[in-house]
Amino acid sequence: MEHSIKTILIYFKFLLKELISPLNYFMALLIGVVINFFQDIGIFSSLIPFIVPIIVQSISKASVKFGNRNLNLLVRLPMEKKDPAFVINTNGEIVASEGKTKDYFSKNNIKNFQDLFENQQIIDIRGVIDESCNTKDHISEEWFSPRVKKWYSINMKADEFSDNVLVWLDDISLRKKLDERLLKARNFSTQMMLSIDEQLKLTDSYDRLAQFVLDQGYKGIFITNKEKNGNLKGFVYKLMNGQIIKSDDIIIPKDSEASIWKSRRSLGIVTDNIHNYNDSDLFYQSNRFDSRVMEFLEFKAENFINYHEEDISVITFNKHSEITQHDLTLMEGIVNSAFTINYLVTIINNCK
């Protein structure tokens, strides 16, 4: 019942909008004048030819718009979509854009498809446009836009009734960054495996892990091993003038409230950010950081990731950009790789 009443109210909203539309009254005026004129009476002598068209037009238009309301909502999607959707001609000129796309192009001074992908050769851009015009299927490419510094998946579909092409873009920058980081992680694992002999000579086989993590934009990392007595023992690393600096060994007691224990106690990866709190003091009350670790790093923690694999516990500090799910996945992968390498090194040393 409530749904039916709501539907009726929606229809009357469309009807009211048509009843106050000046265009309907203008059209009714023309119709009424013509009807009265051909009846050979005064053009304003009868009101019926003026009133009936207003009612008929309002009801018919309201009914059509009411029936197509969901379709019209769907048509608005390109205007509301954050990623651009627009129409270009065969010369690459943007001939139609609305909503957020129009604002986006105006802000970045984009008037032509080439403006958005100015790093691509003109012949490549022309080739993509021509290909879209010569196929019934939509085509897809992945290009980087220097103008807005984003990676886009470009989708094109030609209109068979015109020479224009519908273009919609999907921002894939995060995916590209993840692909790049995963490639680096695979290279890290490969290099570690290929240098087992070299690592046997190191007093700490986690130096490369620390270097890799710091290269990803973190300001510090604390890597520990769980000892037989249950405590965590390890080293803090930071970059200074482009060089990696390593602390003396630091022991974190098993009954400590230090945040490096959080992953073990929650049985999974843990992350937090000072911006999640209205008061920064609440962040530090919720996350306890060992004073020796922070004294060595010489900065206050603002975000962190804590993860463990078997005996290894790692906590990273202050990534220069927002921590995403991709960062968490990458951290799990490299810590797991480091554990595997360290395990192999330990076995080899014990066999000597």
φ/ψ of 89, rounded to 5, equals -95, -175
Residues 350, 19: Cα–Cα separation, whole Å: 89
Q: Tokens at residue 45, please?
A: 């002598």
Residues 59, 12: Cα–Cα separation, whole Å: 10
* DSSP per-residue string spanning 1-48: -HHHHHHHHHHHHHHHHHHT-HHHHHHHHHHHHHHHHHTTS-TTS-SH
Residues 43, 34: Cα–Cα separation, whole Å: 8
Residues 323, 174: Cα–Cα separation, whole Å: 12
pLDDT digits (tens, 9 = 90+) for 180-210: 776 666 666 655 555 555 554 444 567 878 8
pLDDT digits (tens, 9 = 90+) for 254-312: 889 899 999 988 888 999 999 999 998 999 999 999 999 999 999 999 999 999 988 88
Residues 70, 101: Cα–Cα separation, whole Å: 22
Beta bridge partner(s), residue 252? 232
Residues 323, 176: Cα–Cα separation, whole Å: 16
- Count of CB atoms within 10 A of residue 184's CB? 15
Q: Where in the chain is the domain with CATH 3.30.450.20?
A: 78-171
Beta bridge partner(s), residue 139? 156
Fold entry, domain 177-351: Beta-Lactamase (3.30.450)
Q: Which residue has the higher pLDDT, 247 or 127?
A: 247
Q: pLDDT at position 233, please? A: 92
Q: Say if residues 186 and 193 touch (Cβ distance below 8 Å).
A: no
pLDDT digits (tens, 9 = 90+) for 51-63: 887 888 888 887 7
Half-sphere exposure for 100 (CA within 13 Å, toward CB): 12
pLDDT digits (tens, 9 = 90+) for 141-161: 888 888 888 888 888 887 766
Q: Tokens at residue 258, please?
A: 């230090």
Residues 15, 141: Cα–Cα separation, whole Å: 45
Assigned architecture for domain 78-171? 2-Layer Sandwich (3.30)
Give, to the nearest 10 degrees, the angle between helix 2-19 and helix 48-67.
130
Arithmetic mean of pLDDT over the chain = 79
User: How far, in whole angstroms, is CA 289 from its chain's centroid?
Assistant: 31
Q: Where in the chain is the domain with CATH 3.30.450.40?
A: 177-351
Residues 111, 102: Cα–Cα separation, whole Å: 10
Residues 331, 308: Cα–Cα separation, whole Å: 10
Cβ neighbours of residue 101 closer than 8 Å, sequence gap 6 or more: 78, 79, 81, 84, 85, 86
Cβ neighbours of residue 226 closer than 8 Å, sequence gap 6 or more: 232, 311, 312, 313
The answer, yes or no, to whether residue 340 has pLDDT greater than 90, is: no
